[in-house]
Structure 1
């Protein structure tokens, strides 16, 4: 019994001589209570019904003779304990080193913006002035990094993630968990060496990701699991104990296959050829070395980004299946752990470059509402890719190329030669449109994800009785069935609007871990 409970305890019940087992019949409820104490001879066990609260000053419940099991029910409820505020946490202690570079980055940006002025200022500096400047700048940058880390907190509540930042101007971000699209864990190279990671959140209605940088690698994974569990509707007291959902690996892209696939990509050969031909022509025309270098270096950089850059970013690509979606891990230097959230995929594109067709390879790309996830599979055999698409879009089968209906032959007057790459197929589950002749791309849009349908006709299309049908998705992207017969397009417009309406009605709710 607590001290608060003793306020309801009446010591007279257990006074010496009181017989608590011989209670008489209860008094008539219509008979008023006497205002005076019981007259002599009255039995103390025949206590009237309680009409007034007991006094609040009672002896200790541990007094001799007190029987704590014989107290009546309290007449007034105890005061409710106020809800505890969420515990605020700080980022990893290594974070100030990242923030300390901000003042130095400002100076570097000024030097790049006005190189002539920066060069003039550097020539005026003496060794003593430079040392004094460094002696002031380094401690100031360190203090700035420490203070920004000190005033940055985050807390997890039952319904949201709160992030408080700002040294001079305070900012508090309230991220509601039901609005979260995806939660990714990324580790740049230096972060992997230091054992820390970034936690990035894709949220509906925001143009960029909110992030927590940096957290310990284990802490980032635990926080991600807790946020996903709370978003799935688990109780807050058990969400932090759930841990990361188990995953089963579906496939892994061998580095050798990825390297060959990148070498067989037209963009790689095109930029490499341009990097060789254009500087040569400029040298023959101008004989100016600086002009050649100013042109050749960007072209070589673009060629490297299309080959070496993609290889580094897509290295060791692995896809695993878990209750919270498909997990994607990739990266040679910067390791990224992404999640394709269930029910959020708006469009799936199966891309087939010209030089890949002989090997039967394809690339799978995604449009996810509010997310930057754009690649599901960099390269894989077509059968493997189609089985993976069936997991992203349950109940959807990829239409065979032979089942795609091409536009009428008169469409060649609008798009000579390229019209042969267009195709259309509408099944019970998806709206499928193909485009491209050298680099074919088949876009699959589930009917439930269609936001609007439009039909457009240009002057030349009206003359040829052709029309385009545009399907808009929730990812602000459009899939177009080009150069269809005008009557077919009119029928397709009405039929697709009805399919989209029934598809949204029958679609299951988009929830995590369900």
Structure 2
């Protein structure tokens, strides 16, 4: 199918196998279960008719059985007719549901219409798109189908297309991202000239005589085999040096050496001690379901991330995972609202790190909202220090390695850092017993960095253009210790950008700098149309780190803005709004 054919302002239907994948399999499973339950009765009925016995399907011990009553009353043909009619009605409803489930892509919207009796019409603005996900369950891969989801800012605002042809899903994602970037694809403009040779060639799109059934079947099988053997990420879609791959040994080791495993071992040890003291051995059996459930969850987690990759592509960050059932998502530029790099105490001897992100979209394929949001937030399940730095370099484009890597390396450290971070004073040890030396903040040219934790280390990075608001506050105890707390608010998610136990003057400087930087960054933000900005060669945002206290921020080639929101530095609660709504 030519590029742009699905993004042509026309309504299109889903994969023909959608009714089978969405509900037909359940119907077949129920039919198979019923047949397995009643196969002996059906055999008795058929043999009884063949032998001419007066008792057909009956037998001792079966009085009052509804099936016996149907056989003795002669209602079997009527019951079979009703069953066939019911199956036909269900099949008709599935077909109507597929027939009336259509979608189209315009220059501004993705629209989906669905429903038979109750119609729904959902629209997603392209400038609100947070990502595009494609999931391929095992059975769907065998049929050449894929789940397609457009993640949109807001609660339950995502647009789902289950299922599309696998190739159509890849092409549609590319077209949607091109339209969302603000650049009209050149291929769409030239599609009219090449349509004469590519279109009108039949259902298979092959000019000349139609292929035979055996040839089509052979081609279908070859496509499925190639899809299973092909790498998750097309080598032409990203430069090899930008790809971070998962180590199987590290993944298994990190799964075993996790906080959840530690708590499970403590629970088992407690159960054993309880049995030893009470003599009630049945207590051990209560832990068996928990162990089995936990073990299956950990195995699924390992299998899911075995084929994990992350790379930088033309239209954002591409994250893929899965072995048999695969999934991949593309996160466009400017859709990452905050980043968390964390390390637990158990992982510290191995030097492993974990990276999550906050995005504005809050729903996804399968699972409940909160659990799916936690899963979608993971961009690096486990990686070495170098892997974490490479992933951060992908998530924070536009930075030179000479600027980015030393600051981030200092953020990973256990001490105060080499002047890149402003840390808590010694008196903050009253509130931060172990972490007051690490607890602090720093800056990149377009983001604020919050470093906290000693046992569970964490580095939070918030781009200025994605900040919703910033607040500084003091409670009675912090006021007595001359300390302050700063909250950098972004969209709701698993990451909290809160830093406490700062010297009050440092807290005021952080508040003022972020407040001014947010206003300037939001005014010059063009990531919602990243393609236009890249084509126009927009100058990068430059923030004077030396003027952090006054919040000096400027656009290269433009005068600096001195807008400061800290008019009352002694106020116990100060807030400035950077953006009135969630930005895409």
Between the aligned partners of 1:228 and 1:281, the Cα distance in structure 2 is 58
Report what 1:359 is aligned to.
Answer: 350
Q: Which has the higher contact order (CA 8 A, sep 6+)?
A: 2
Deviations 1:211-240 (A, max 9, x none): 101111111111212222222334478449
1:481 aligns with 2:472: no
Task: Tell me if the contact between 1:197 and 1:215 (Cα under 8 Å) persists in the aligned partners.
Answer: yes
Between the aligned partners of 1:508 and 1:227, the Cα distance in structure 2 is 18
Between the aligned partners of 1:374 and 1:483, the Cα distance in structure 2 is 28
Report what 1:225 is aligned to.
Answer: 174
**Among candidates 165, 168, 173, match of residue 216 of structure 1:** 165
Structure 2 CA distance for partners of 1:102 and 1:241, relative to 1, 3 Å: farther
Between the aligned partners of 2:281 and 2:92, the Cα distance in structure 1 is 48
Between the aligned partners of 1:296 and 1:423, the Cα distance in structure 2 is 44
1:116-265 → structure 2 map (5 Å cutoff) = 126-127=66-67, 138-235=87-184, 238-239=187-188, 246-249=237-240, 250-265=243-258
Report what 2:426 is aligned to.
Answer: 409
1:437 aligns with 2:445: no
Structure 2 CA distance for partners of 1:456 and 1:134, relative to 1, 3 Å: farther
Between the aligned partners of 1:432 and 1:406, the Cα distance in structure 2 is 12
Between the aligned partners of 1:208 and 1:355, the Cα distance in structure 2 is 38
Q: Quote how far apart the aligned CAs of 1:484 are.
A: 0.8
Report what 1:494 is aligned to.
Answer: 512
Report what 2:55 is aligned to.
Answer: none
Deviations 1:267-311 (A, max 9, x none): 23323x14523543565658374x654554235423542x32321
Between the aligned partners of 2:378 and 2:65, the Cα distance in structure 1 is 50
Task: Tell me if the contact between 1:186 and 1:336 (Cα under 8 Å) persists in the aligned partners.
Answer: yes
Task: Tell me if the contact between 1:455 and 1:467 (Cα under 8 Å) persists in the aligned partners.
Answer: yes
Report what 1:76 is aligned to.
Answer: none
Report what 1:335 is aligned to.
Answer: 326
Pick which of 433-442 and 138-147 moved more. 138-147
Deviations 1:484-514 (A, max 9, x none): 1223222322222112222323444332544
Report what 1:73 is aligned to.
Answer: none
Between the aligned partners of 2:65 and 2:269, the Cα distance in structure 1 is 44
Structure 2 CA distance for partners of 1:241 and 1:377, relative to 1, 3 Å: farther
Task: Tell me if the contact between 2:180 and 2:528 (Cα under 8 Å) persists in the aligned partners.
Answer: no
**Among candidates 348, 368, 377, match of residue 359 of structure 2:** 368
| Unmatched segments (≥5 aa) in structure 2 | 1-7, 31-63, 71-75, 192-233, 363-372, 535-584
Report what 1:510 is aligned to.
Answer: 528
Other structure's SS at 1:510 match:
helix
Structure 2 CA distance for partners of 1:286 and 1:95, relative to 1, 3 Å: farther
Q: Quote how far apart the aligned CAs of 1:365 are.
A: 1.6
Between the aligned partners of 1:345 and 1:234, the Cα distance in structure 2 is 21
Q: How many positions carry a matched residue from both structures?
A: 409
Structure 2 CA distance for partners of 1:236 and 1:493, relative to 1, 3 Å: closer
Deviations 1:386-416 (A, max 9, x none): 2331232124524313244432232232344
Task: Tell me if the contact between 1:457 and 1:468 (Cα under 8 Å) persists in the aligned partners.
Answer: yes
Pick which of 128-137 and 93-102 moved more. 128-137
Deviations 1:304-353 (A, max 9, x none): 42x32321221211122211012111112320111121111111211222
Deviations 1:86-115 (A, max 9, x none): 43221111111233369979x9xxxxxxxx
Q: Quote how far apart the aligned CAs of 1:463 are.
A: 2.3
Between the aligned partners of 2:470 and 2:86, the Cα distance in structure 1 is 58
Task: Tell me if the contact between 2:485 and 2:501 (Cα under 8 Å) persists in the aligned partners.
Answer: yes
Structure 2 CA distance for partners of 1:263 and 1:125, relative to 1, 3 Å: farther
**Among candidates 253, 256, 280, match of residue 287 of structure 1:** 280
Task: Tell me if the contact between 1:275 and 1:299 (Cα under 8 Å) persists in the aligned partners.
Answer: no
Report what 1:7 is aligned to.
Answer: none
Other structure's SS at 2:337 match:
strand
1:323 aligns with 2:272: no
Say what the alpha-carbon RMSD is for the aligned residues. 3.3
Other structure's SS at 2:149 match:
strand
Between the aligned partners of 1:146 and 1:286, the Cα distance in structure 2 is 61
Report what 1:379 is aligned to.
Answer: 382
1:72-111 → structure 2 map (5 Å cutoff) = 86-100=9-23
1:302 aligns with 2:294: yes
Task: Tell me if the contact between 2:333 and 2:527 (Cα under 8 Å) persists in the aligned partners.
Answer: no
TM-score of the aligned structures, taking structure 2 as reference length: 0.63
Deviations 1:419-447 (A, max 9, x none): 45533223443211122333211101122
Between the aligned partners of 2:425 and 2:20, the Cα distance in structure 1 is 63
Report what 1:269 is aligned to.
Answer: 262
TM-score of the aligned structures, taking structure 1 as reference length: 0.71
Report what 1:27 is aligned to.
Answer: none
Pick which of 220-229 and 164-173 moved more. 220-229
1:452 aligns with 2:452: no
Between the aligned partners of 1:394 and 1:219, the Cα distance in structure 2 is 29
Task: Tell me if the contact between 1:222 and 1:240 (Cα under 8 Å) persists in the aligned partners.
Answer: no
Between the aligned partners of 1:321 and 1:183, the Cα distance in structure 2 is 15
Task: Tell me if the contact between 1:100 and 1:144 (Cα under 8 Å) persists in the aligned partners.
Answer: no
Between the aligned partners of 1:474 and 1:351, the Cα distance in structure 2 is 19
Other structure's SS at 2:154 match:
coil
Pick which of 343-352 and 256-265 moved more. 256-265
Other structure's SS at 1:354 match:
coil
Task: Tell me if the contact between 1:369 and 1:475 (Cα under 8 Å) persists in the aligned partners.
Answer: yes
Other structure's SS at 1:355 match:
coil
Pick which of 245-254 and 453-462 moved more. 245-254
| Unmatched segments (≥5 aa) in structure 1 | 1-84, 108-123
Report what 1:470 is aligned to.
Answer: 487
Which of 1 and 2 has greater Rg? 1
Task: Tell me if the contact between 1:189 and 1:333 (Cα under 8 Å) persists in the aligned partners.
Answer: yes
Between the aligned partners of 1:134 and 1:479, the Cα distance in structure 2 is 59
